[in-house]
Structure 1
C-alpha cells in the first residue's frame, strides 16, 4: 500500500487541531482522476471551517483534509473517466477539500488545464480567490468601462484579482489597502490608493463611486459609512459583511458566496496566459507549516496568496 502525507483536522478548534497524518494514497473512482499536488493555497475561510464556525453552513465529515485549491499533475485516471490524461497539468477548486496532501482524488469535471505561463504551483492561488473576484466584478458588480469602482480591501488574495479584473474591464479603480500592501496593489493596476489606516475612506474618496466591491469584514457603523459612498442607482457587492444601501438611493446590494464554475476558471487561466492577469504569490510554505499560516492569517499578518507545498 502506497502512503502519503496529509494535513487534517479530527475536531474543530484552534490551530493546534491541524494534524499531519500519513494515510493510504487514494485511488480514483469513475469520473475521477488522481492528482499529484504541486500546491494548494491558503484561503482565510479555511480558518473559519477549522474553528467550526461554518459547521451549520458547510458541514464536513471528520477527519477532514484541508485544501480547496489544487494545482498539480494527473497521475492516474479512474475507470471510464474521459477528458483527462496522465501527465495533464491541471488546476481546480475542490469543494470537498483534500488538496493539503501529496495526492488528491478529484472529479475530472472540476479541473481545467493549468496556465502554461506560470509555475504550476502558482496556479493553486487562482481557483477560490479568482472565481470570487470574477463573479464579484462581472456577474454581480457588472463593472464596465468608464465606471468608478471602489475596491475595499484590495491587499488580500481576492483583492488583487478584483483590482486587476476591474481594471481589465476598463474601470477607474480606487483601492483601499494598508501600508504593507500598497506597492503590490499599485502593481496590480489601481488608479488610486487610499490608506484605510490613515482615516475614514470617505474623507479621502471625494465624489461617489458607481460600484463598491467590499472584501473585508466590517462593523455596522463602517458598513453604513461605506454604503453612502455609492452614487444613487449604483451597486454594492460584498463577499464579507453584508452591506445595506441607504434607503431611497436605488442602490442594489448583493452578498456574494462564490460558486465553483469551470467556465469562469478557464477564462481566468486564459487571462493569465495572455499576461492580462498576474498571480501574486506572497510566500510559499511547506505543508508542515500550515498551522502557522492559519495563525498568521488570524492575526492579520498575511498579504496576498500563500502557497502550501506538500
Structure 2
C-alpha cells in the first residue's frame, strides 16, 4: 500500500511490486499483519516533510508482525521460520525487509497478527512511563488519552509500576480502559479534569493534541516537582514553574520492545486490538481515523494470494 503523491486518503494505492531481497544484515519477513498509526495521516498529507521526507512512491506501515522467510548475509541471530515483531518501515505489504537487529521474537501468548499492535504504541508507552515519567509505586499519574493505542499500554504499564492511575476516556473507550486497570476514569466529554481529579498528581502522560489553554490546565494538576510528559505536541509550563515538561518522540529500542514482549507473555500486559481489517482497506481506515470513528489499535492483514516475484 503506497502513496505516489501527498494528499487525502485517495492517494493510497495498492501496487504490485517485486518481492524485496534482504541485503547484508537483513531478513525478509512474510507479513502477518501491520497496524495503523495516526502519525501516518500527517505523513500521507505531507505535513511531516520538514522532519521526514521519504522518497515517493512510499510504502506505508511502520510496524510488523510476521515470519522470517529469508536471511541475508550477516543476518545473525535469526533463522527461517522465526516469528518476529518490530518497528519496520514499509510494512503495509506482503513482504518487507528489516535489519535483523531491529526485530525481536514475537510473543507466544497472543496471535501473531495481534502482535503487530505492539512495537510503536507499546514502546512509546514504555518510554513515557519508565524513562520520562519514572513512575514508581505509590505515585499518582494521569493518563490523558487512555482510549488510544498508546494509552491502553500506558495505563497497564503504570499499574505495573505500582502507580494509582487516573485516565481520561470517552464513553465508548471507558470499558476497555477499565479492563486495563485504571483506578479512576474521567469522561472528558462531560466533565473538566480540574473538577474530576482529586488532588495533585505526580505525573501526567499526555497522549492527545492539546492547545495552549489545555496544556496550561494540565500543568496546574501536577504537584511541584512533578512532570508532564507529552508524546504529541509540547506542553509548555511557565518560566520558573516547579513542574517539569518533557516532549518526546519514541526512538526504536529493541530492548524496550523485548521487555514488553516478556510482560505480554507473562499476562501482565494485554494487547487490545479494536479491529482487524484487510490491508487493502487501508485508505478506508485513514478516512475512519480522520472522522473520529476509530478507538484503540487497528491491525491490517494482507490478503492471502500468490507471491509476486
Would you say 1:167 and 2:155 are equivalent positions?
Answer: no
Q: Which moved more, 1:263-272 or 1:220-229?
A: 220-229
- Tell whether the 8 Å contact from 2:28 to 2:98 is kept in structure 1 after alignment: yes
User: Counterpart of 1:219?
Assistant: 211
Please state how far the C-alpha of 1:246 moved relative to its aligned partner. 3.9
* Alignment partners' CA distance in 1, 2:250 and 2:65: 19
Deviations 1:148-187, CA, capped at 9 Å, x for gaps = 0000000000000000000000000000000010000000
How many Å separate the matches in 1 of 2:92 and 2:27?
16
Match of 1:11 in 2: 5
The question of 1:138 aligning with 2:130 is answered: yes
Preserved contact between residue 228 and residue 246 of structure 1 (Cα < 8 Å) = no
TM-score by length of 2: 0.96
Match of 1:228 among 187, 200, 220: 220
What is aligned with 1:81?
75
- Answer yes or no: is the 8 Å Cα contact 2:145–2:207 preserved in 1: yes
1:91-110 map, 5 Å? 91-94=85-88, 97-110=89-102
Per-residue deviation, 1:247: 4.2
The answer to whether the 8 A contact 1:194-1:204 is kept is yes
The answer to whether the Cα contact below 8 Å between 2:28 and 2:70 also exists between their aligned partners in 1 is: yes
Aligned partner of residue 198 in structure 1, secondary structure: coil
Q: Deviations over 1:54-76 (max 9, x none)?
A: 11111101111000110000000
Where do residues 1-310 of structure 1 align in structure 2 (5 Å cutoff)?
Answer: 7-94=1-88, 97-310=89-302
- What SS is found at the alignment partner of 2:154? helix
Contact 1:238 1:256 in 2 (8 A): yes
Deviation at 1:288, TM superposition (A): 1.2
Q: Secondary structure at the match of 1:48?
A: helix
Question: How far apart are the structure 2 equivalents of 1:86 and 1:168?
Answer: 34
Q: Distance in 1 between matches of 2:281 and 2:102?
A: 27
Aligned to 2:225, what secondary structure does the other structure show? Answer: strand
CA contact (8 A) 1:66 1:100 kept: yes
The answer (yes or no) to whether the contact 2:212–2:236 under 8 Å persists in 1 is no
Shift of 1:248: 3.7
TM-score of the superposition, structure 1-length normalised? 0.96
Alpha-carbon deviation of 1:235?
0.7
Which sections of structure 1, spanning at least 5 residues, go unmatched? Answer: 1-6
Query: Shift of the alpha carbon at 1:135?
Result: 0.5
Q: How many residues align structurally?
A: 302
Deviation at 1:32, TM superposition (A): 0.4
Q: In the alignment, is the contact (CA less than 8 A) between 1:227 and 1:246 conserved in 2?
A: no
Partner of 2:15, secondary structure, is strand
In 2, Cα distance between the equivalents of 1:224 and 1:106?
Answer: 41
